[in-house]
């Protein structure tokens, strides 16, 4: 039997509707949530992502702004901009699009963003809060989106064997931290595999929930999947395809046609995890705006 598709597009649309309701409530209280995206250079893929983020934030009723800087921008100039945005009360969320030009150190930039405005969840303070289990930080949008996909598709993570393939700071590591936490969408037994893992397939075949976040096209094949497993494909790879007018097609880290025969549920690429990332970014921005009100009322007493 073919696996059921997890419709990330539909689930993301539901979350965006929920966000729009919260935006309206905050706006009525005098706070319009604001997201500022900073793009340095002219990488075409980044330009597309950034445009989608601005469009989605405006569609949710938020204030969305994109600051485009030339590739020649110095690190000092970028840090000065981040500091200005940190101090601007109309900006609740700051996102500096990665990758940055080679002469700018991404970690230095991330550390300059106020943790209270770091809606990407990349700042060490927010990563630390996630690991400890504190809920007043921001969680990286893609792994947070994966948890939403699991919970909203009725996948019980409690006690499940979850295998994460990939150990990036943006997906693999926070993904493992979320799956192991003692909350809804957590309580799993988590294994993290990576490029040095011996016998990858021996691990993936044990997984009740398999998360592929390696960045290698169609690397996880059906024979590496336990029958009935839930498969979440975080991969977004552009590969050559002569049958397409563009000459390319988008594919995941999972070989879909073989995996769909073995899994019980699976995310497609595109239309799975991808749309969730922006939805969770909007949710983080609304949370950032709501917290400014909470802090203001706590200060009044």
Rg of the chain's alpha carbons, rounded to an integer? 20
| Residue with smallest beta-carbon separation from ligand GUN | 98
**Distance between CA atoms of residues 137 and 159, nearest Å:** 25
Asked if residue 96 binds ligand GUN (CB under 6 A), the reply is yes
**Distance between CA atoms of residues 257 and 3, nearest Å:** 10
CB of 244 to ligand GUN, least distance (A): 23
**Distance between CA atoms of residues 192 and 196, nearest Å:** 11
Asked if residue 120 binds ligand GUN (CB under 6 A), the reply is yes
Phi and psi based region of residue 107 (left: phi greater than 0; alpha: psi -120 to 50; beta: remaining) = alpha
Residues 41-80 as x/- pattern, contact with ligand GUN by CB under 6 A: --------x-------------------------------
CB of 95 to ligand GUN, least distance (A): 5
Closer residue to ligand GUN, CB minimum distance, 122 or 256: 122
Write the burial class of residue 198 (CB in 10 Å: 0-12 exposed, 13-18 middle, 19+ buried): exposed
Closer residue to ligand GUN, CB minimum distance, 49 or 138: 49
Q: Report residue 252 CA to chain centroid gap.
A: 15
CB of 285 to ligand GUN, least distance (A): 13
Closer residue to ligand GUN, CB minimum distance, 207 or 236: 236
Give φ, ψ of 80 to 5 degrees: -65, -40
What kind and span of H or E run contains 161? Answer: strand 161-165
**Distance between CA atoms of residues 178 and 61, nearest Å:** 29
Asked if residue 97 binds ligand GUN (CB under 6 A), the reply is yes
**Distance between CA atoms of residues 123 and 109, nearest Å:** 9
CB of 2 to ligand GUN, least distance (A): 30
Closer residue to ligand GUN, CB minimum distance, 97 or 204: 97
Closer residue to ligand GUN, CB minimum distance, 60 or 259: 60
Asked if residue 35 binds ligand GUN (CB under 6 A), the reply is no
CB of 227 to ligand GUN, least distance (A): 33
Asked if residue 39 binds ligand GUN (CB under 6 A), the reply is no
Q: Annotated catalytic, 120?
A: yes
Binding to ligand GUN (CB under 6 A) within 214-253 occurs at none
Q: Annotated catalytic, 75?
A: no
Q: Annotated catalytic, 53?
A: yes
**Distance between CA atoms of residues 62 and 138, nearest Å:** 18
What kind and span of H or E run contains 265? Answer: strand 265-266
Write the burial class of residue 227 (CB in 10 Å: 0-12 exposed, 13-18 middle, 19+ buried): exposed
Contact call for residues 186 and 180 (beta carbons, < 8 A): yes
Asked if residue 284 binds ligand GUN (CB under 6 A), the reply is no
Closer residue to ligand GUN, CB minimum distance, 139 or 220: 139
Residues 264-283 as x/- pattern, contact with ligand GUN by CB under 6 A: -------------x------
Active-site residue, selected from the candidate residues 97, 118, 208, 226 = 97
Active-site residue, selected from the candidate residues 116, 120, 208, 233 = 120
Beta strand 93-96 with 237-240: parallel, antiparallel or unpaired?
Answer: unpaired
Contact call for residues 229 and 264 (beta carbons, < 8 A): yes
**Catalytic residue IDs:** 53, 97, 120
Binding site for ligand GUN (CB under 6 A): 49, 95-98, 120, 141, 277
């Amino acid at each position: 039997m073919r696996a059921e598709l997890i419709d990330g597009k539909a689930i993301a649309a539901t979350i965006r509707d929920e966000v729009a309701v919260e935006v309206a409530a905050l706006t009525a209280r005098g706070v319009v949530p604001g997201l500022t995206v900073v793009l340095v250079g002219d990488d075409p893929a980044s330009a597309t992502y950034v445009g989608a983020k601005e469009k989605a934030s405006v569609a949710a009723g938020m204030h969305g702004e994109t600051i485009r800087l030339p590739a020649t921008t110095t690190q000092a100039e970028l840090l000065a901009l981040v500091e200005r945005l940190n101090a601007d009360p109309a900006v609740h969320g700051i996102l500096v699009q990665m990758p940055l030009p080679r002469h700018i150190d991404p970690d230095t930039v991330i550390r300059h963003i106020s943790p209270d405005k770091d809606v990407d969840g990349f700042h060490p303070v927010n990563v630390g809060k996630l690991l400890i289990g504190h809920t007043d930080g921001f969680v990286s949008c893609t792994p947070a989106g994966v948890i939403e996909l699991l919970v909203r598709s009725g996948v019980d993570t409690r006690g499940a064997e979850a295998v994460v393939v990939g150990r990036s700071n943006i997906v693999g590591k926070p993904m493992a931290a979320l799956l192991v936490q003692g909350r809804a969408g957590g309580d799993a037994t988590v294994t993290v595999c990576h490029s040095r893992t011996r016998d990858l397939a021996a691990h993936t075949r044990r997984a009740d929930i398999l998360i592929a976040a390696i960045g290698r096209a169609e690397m996880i094949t059906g024979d590496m999947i336990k029958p009935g497993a839930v498969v979440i494909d975080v991969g977004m790879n552009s590969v050559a395809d002569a049958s397409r007018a563009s000459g390319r097609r988008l594919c995941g880290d999972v070989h879909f046609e073989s995996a769909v025969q073995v899994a019980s549920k699976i995310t497609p690429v595109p239309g799975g995890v991808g749309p969730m990332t922006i939805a969770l970014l909007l949710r983080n921005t609304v949370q950032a705006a709501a917290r400014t009100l909470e802090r203001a009322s706590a200060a009044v007493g």
